[in-house]
Structures are given as C-alpha cells and as structure tokens.
C-alpha cells in the first residue's frame, strides 16, 4: 500500500491564513508530488469525519479575510460551500499533525476514544513535529486493541511507530520500529522517544468485517516536545567510537547516558566511560537517576548479557565495585581512588531504555581509622566500604538525643561484600511497659533495619526500648538503618551505638559458603523468624511465670486460712 506522506517542509510558513488553533497543533498535510495543502482542523476533531480536500495556495489566497476557518465548513460539507478547483488527497491515509510551534505537550487518542473505534480503518497517520533541537516523547496511558493472531503472533489491528525519521514523512518502503497491539498489560514498554524532531504513528484496522465479534476502544496518551540538549553527555567522546567517553576535572560535575538515550540502547553495544580525577586528591561519585537494563531474570547481574560493570580505577583490570542491571532508580556508587571505569554491554536480543546518570568529582577523606558519627552535622550518613569498619552513635551520645529526629544510615559495599551490624548500646525512650522487654514499638522512639529483596526495600527488624537486638547481616552489599525519635523533650535516654563491618566471609571463619540463589535472603528471613519466635517465647514465659506466682500466692493464702 502506498502511504500518504505527512510532510511539513523545514521552511514552511503559513503565510496564506492564520486560524485560532492550539499552538502545539497543526494539520497541514502536504503531498510532496503536488505541494497541495489540506484544510486545517483542530486536533480534538476526528479527521475521519471530514471530507478531506487540498486547496491550491492561489485558491485559498482569494478567500475573504473575514471567512471562518476551513474546518468549520467541513461540518457543513466543505465541497459544497467552496466552489474552487481542488485535488483530492490519496484516501489511503488520513493525517493528524501535532506541531510544537512553541508548545510543549498535549494529548492524543484514537478515533472515538473511549468509545469503540470504527471497523476497517485503512490508515490514519498521527504525525508529531518538534522544533529544531527537540525530541518527541509519547506515553500511552490507555491501550485496548485486538490481540495478535495466536497462530503467527502478528497484529491484525495495529499501531506502527516510526521513531527514526530524518523528515516528518513515511512511504511504503520505510520499516517501522515497533508494531503494537493487544492491551496495556501486554505492551513491553509504554513510553517511546523519537531519534530526531519527528515521530509518526500509523493506525490501521485491517481485519475482515465478518470477523468483528469483539470491539476495542483503541488508545490514548500524552506527548511532549523535549529539548534534545538535556540528553548530551558532558564528557569528551573518544575518537572512532560510538559511545565511549572520557571525563575529567575540567568539569567537576555533569551527566552521561547510554547510547541513543532516551531511546532504547542499540544491540551489541560496548561502551566505556572513564573518569580521571586529580591524583591523590579526590574520588568519583556516581548517581544513576534512571536505570533500565534488560536482565533476563538472572539471579546475579554478573550473569546478564546486558549489564553495567563498575571498576575502582582506570580500566577493567582494577577491583570490581559492582554489576548493575534490571530496573532501578537512585543507585549510587563511589570510588576509593581518583579514577572510575564503567563498561556497558548489550547483546542482540532485547533492549531497554538504558541509563541516565550524574557524576561528581569529590574531595577525598584520608582517614583510615574507624569512623564515628559527628553530632555537629546532619545525622544522615552514606557509608561506603573504603572504611571497612566503624562505629555509629546517636546524636549527643552519651548525653540524651534530641526530640523529633530522623536519622538514616545507608551502607553500600562492593559486589562481594556484605554489611554486619552489631549494637553495643541501646537506651531509647519507651513508655509502653518494660523497656527491657518491649513488645510493641509503634509510637515509640525506634530503630528500623532494612535490606533489599528483588530491588525492593524490606524491613528486617523493628526495635525499641533498652534491649540490645541481635546482630544483623545484609543479603546484598546494601543495608539501611533508620532512627526516629518522637516529640518528647524531657528524658534522660542516651540513645544507641552500633558497630558496622564490611565483610566478604559473612562473618563465618570456618566451613564453606553456600552460593545457592536466595540463600542469604533466606538466612535473614530465618534469623528474623527466629528473633520473633524467641520474643513470643519470652512473652509466654513471662505469662507463665506470672501465673505460677499467682497460683503460689493463692496456695499460700489457702494454707494460712
């Protein structure tokens, strides 16, 4: 089938007439062969309901200035009102064009949405055209189309996406980038980006009408025009490479991205990002704002074909800090040297959006002794394994800690490390009974311990009062401790102190480590279950002792009587 071009020349200027239309919408559909213009229409009016014609520029120029917009005449049969020569557009494709013109965002939808779309729609082209230096983002919020054929997995009703266009036009020889059908739950991704300033969606319903037994609503979504400059890495691209970059202290902070970001990264990528700090004068801090790397469902990112590897130095022969894959946000990494090396790999099977990250060259602390929290500063701390062990105390310890405080301590190790935490002091305000045997910590000054399971934070323990909790071990190179105090200001409680260690032997000095999947997570779950069972046992023992005491007192009283 010959597809109609939806085309707006770079130098196009609507010098003939101006209509009252949204700034971000234009519906000039131009056929390159004869350069005829189609009548302008507002984007919210379905193009299918119009008798679409194209008028020569000299015919339009002869119209009186006081005449209403041409789309108005469409409502009363345009062809009958305007008796001028016109050429009919190829009926195979109708055009709806959204153009930036200073606007930034808007909505789009299939005809009649949220009602069912019509049968046998041959072709509607939704064309998005940004200004020079802009990209197009589309995001589906609703999607309901016929599911693919069960025999060959092909779509009968489909929405094809053309993302890599040099100009806002397509023809029958162009290959689409994605073909979508089914429902929101079956879409592998809901957000798409253009490579340049143009993006086209082709909507067709090609099934025979006799097979129309089920009706579908179609689709709806949002679009945005984005400044492409925000996705440019701040380093220097290595000569002769597609995606390798060098970063130096000439710019102390900046950003970097996976290849083609925000589009999906290409297959068979191999990209290196090398950070060069000043010798003996600093470290490199990386924060991944967005991380979407296909991970194949493996239990370790080291086994994933698509992955990020981060090394504590200038190349891959330096110590590995960690592997990254999957979907994560706000992942943080810090070197122990002035240098950092990141390698990104992908295979040829599945692609995702990739990553967007920030970097900062930081001044290095030269202390090798155990670290102590400093009450004179913000109590939130980010502790890395460059200091293998240390002591954390509550603010003002051993004096009383302040009221209405929330302190978060995040521990982040290298790939093979785990974090061990051992409390040595515990004295939190508790008014719910015996502080040495606290049963319920809700509403009390408390400490919570978190680990991550499948990249989700899970509460490992919740403790309060004066009872020193058992020792904790993380299941991955990450652990978080959160201390919260209430609004009580009159108390003499001294707070807490705990030791932390970054270990590679899990604190076990004999035997052999079991590396089966989820073994460390199961260990923590069993430890937590053991702690809770022990607490229940203590409660029962306490009740039993009370019963025995009461019984003994009764017997004594009876004997006396």
Q: Which pLDDT value is given to residue 324? A: 92
Q: Which pLDDT value is given to residue 520? A: 46
Q: Which pLDDT value is given to residue 418? A: 93
Q: Which pLDDT value is given to residue 406? A: 86
Q: Which pLDDT value is given to residue 537? A: 64
pLDDT of 401 strictly over 60: yes
CA–CA–CA angle 398, 403, 409 (5° rounding): 70
Query: Which region among 33-42, 80-89, 228-237, 296-305 has the lowest average model confidence (pLDDT)?
Result: 80-89
Provide the token pair at 273.
């990002």
Terminal Cα-to-Cα distance of the chain (whole angstroms): 108
Work out the pLDDT band at 443, boundaries 50, 70, 90: confident
**280-312 burial: b if 16+ Cβ within 10 Å, else e:** eebbbbbbbebbbbbbeeeeebeebbbbbbbbb
Q: Which pLDDT value is given to residue 549? A: 61
> CA 43 to CA 53: how far, in whole Å?
17
> CA 271 to CA 238: how far, in whole Å?
10
Q: DSSP characters for 159-197?
A: EEEE---SSS---TTPPPSEEE-SBGGG-S-SEEE-SSS
Instruction: Tell me whether residue 549 is exposed, middle or buried, using C-beta atoms within 10 angstroms of its C-beta: 0 to 12, 13 to 18, 19 or more.
Output: exposed
Q: What is the pLDDT of residues 483-510, one digit of tens each?
A: 999 877 778 898 999 999 999 887 665 5
Provide the token pair at 278.
């000043």
The helix/strand count (H/E) of the chain reads as 4, 33
Q: Calculate the dihedral angle through the C-alpha atoms of 127, 91, 53, 32, rounding to the nearest 10 degrees.
A: 60
**Portion of the chain with pLDDT greater than 70, in percent:** 69
Helix (H) or strand (E) holding 533: helix 519-560
> CA 52 to CA 89: how far, in whole Å?
7
398 HSE (CA, 13 A, CB side): 2
pLDDT of 423 strictly over 80: yes
Overall average pLDDT of the 194-208 stretch? 87
Work out the pLDDT band at 270, boundaries 50, 70, 90: very high
Q: Which pLDDT value is given to residue 195? A: 93
Overall average pLDDT of the 323-352 stretch? 88
Q: What is the pLDDT of residues 373-390, one digit of tens each?
A: 433 445 778 888 877 888
Write down the H helix ranges in 51-94: 57-61, 70-74, 78-81
Work out the pLDDT band at 561, boundaries 50, 70, 90: low
Across the chain, mean pLDDT equals 75
Q: What is the pLDDT of residues 11-27, one digit of tens each?
A: 333 332 222 333 333 33
Overall average pLDDT of the 283-296 stretch? 89
Residue 359 CB partners (closer than 8 Å, separation 6+): 247, 253, 254, 255, 256, 275, 284, 285, 286
Residue of higher predicted confidence among 539 and 437? 437
Rg, C-alpha atoms of the chain:
33
Nearest to 447 by CA among 431, 208, 430: 430
Overall average pLDDT of the 95-99 stretch? 88
Nearest to 311 by CA among 189, 414, 188, 164: 414
């Amino acid at each position: 089938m010959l597809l109609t071009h939806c085309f707006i020349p770079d130098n196009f200027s609507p010098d003939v007439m101006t209509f009252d239309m949204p700034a971000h919408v234009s519906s000039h559909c131009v056929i390159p062969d004869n350069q005829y213009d189609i009548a302008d229409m507002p984007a919210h009016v379905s193009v299918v309901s119009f008798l679409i014609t194209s008028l020569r520029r000299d015919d339009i120029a002869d119209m009186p200035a006081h005449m209403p917009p041409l789309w108005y005449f469409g409502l009363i049969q345009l062809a009958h009102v305007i008796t001028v020569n016109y050429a009919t557009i190829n009926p195979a494709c109708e055009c709806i064009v959204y153009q930036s013109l200073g606007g930034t965002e808007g909505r789009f939808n299939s005809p009649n949405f949220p009602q069912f779309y019509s049968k046998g729609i041959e072709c509607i082209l939704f064309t998005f055209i940004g200004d020079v230096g802009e990209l197009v983002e589309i995001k589906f919020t609703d999607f309901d189309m016929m599911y693919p054929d069960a025999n060959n997995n092909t779509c009968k009703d489909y929405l094809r996406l053309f993302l890599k266009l040099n100009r806002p036009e397509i023809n029958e020889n162009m290959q689409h980038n994605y073909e979508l059908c089914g429902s929101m739950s079956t879409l592998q991704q809901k957000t798409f980006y253009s490579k340049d300033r143009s993006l086209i969606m082709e909507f067709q319903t090609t099934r025979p009408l006799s097979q129309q037994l089920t009706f579908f609503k179609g689709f709806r979504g949002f679009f945005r025009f984005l400044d492409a400059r925000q996705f440019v890495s701040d380093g220097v691209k290595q000569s002769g490479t597609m995606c390798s970059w060098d970063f130096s202290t000439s710019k102390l902070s900046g950003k970097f991205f996976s290849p083609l970001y925000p589009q999906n990264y290409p297959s068979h990528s191999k990209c290196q990002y090398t950070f060069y700090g000043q010798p003996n004068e600093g470290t490199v801090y990386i924060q991944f704002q967005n991380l979407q790397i296909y991970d194949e469902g493996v239990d370790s990112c080291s086994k994933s074909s698509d992955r990020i590897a981060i090394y504590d130095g200038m190349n891959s022969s330096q110590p590995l800090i960690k592997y990254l894959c999957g979907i994560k946000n706000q992942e943080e990494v810090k070197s122990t040297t002035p240098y950092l090396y990141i390698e990104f790999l992908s295979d040829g099977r599945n692609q995702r959006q990739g990553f967007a990250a920030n970097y900062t060259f930081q001044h290095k602390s030269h202390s090798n002794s155990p670290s102590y929290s400093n009450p004179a500063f913000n109590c939130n701390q980010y502790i890395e394994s460059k200091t293998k062990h240390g002591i954390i105390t509550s603010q003002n310890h051993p004096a009383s800690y302040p009221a209405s405080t929330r302190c978060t301590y995040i521990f982040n190790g290298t790939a093979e490390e785990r974090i061990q935490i051992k409390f040595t002091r515990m004295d939190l305000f508790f008014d719910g009974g015996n502080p040495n045997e606290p049963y319920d910590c809700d509403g009390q000054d408390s400490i919570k311990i978190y680990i991550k399971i499948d990249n989700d934070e899970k509460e490992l323990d919740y403790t309060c009062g004066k009872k020193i909790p058992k020792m904790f071990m993380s299941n991955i190179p990450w652990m978080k401790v959160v201390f919260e105090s209430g609004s009580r200001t009159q108390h003499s409680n001294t707070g807490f102190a705990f030791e932390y260690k970054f270990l590679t032997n899990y604190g076990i000095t004999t035997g052999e480590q079991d590396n089966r999947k989820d073994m460390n997570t199961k260990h923590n779950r069993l430890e937590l279950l053991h702690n809770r069972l022990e607490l229940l046992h203590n409660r029962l023992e306490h009740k039993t002792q009370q019963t025995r005491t009461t019984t003994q007192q009764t017997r004594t009283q009876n004997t006396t009587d």
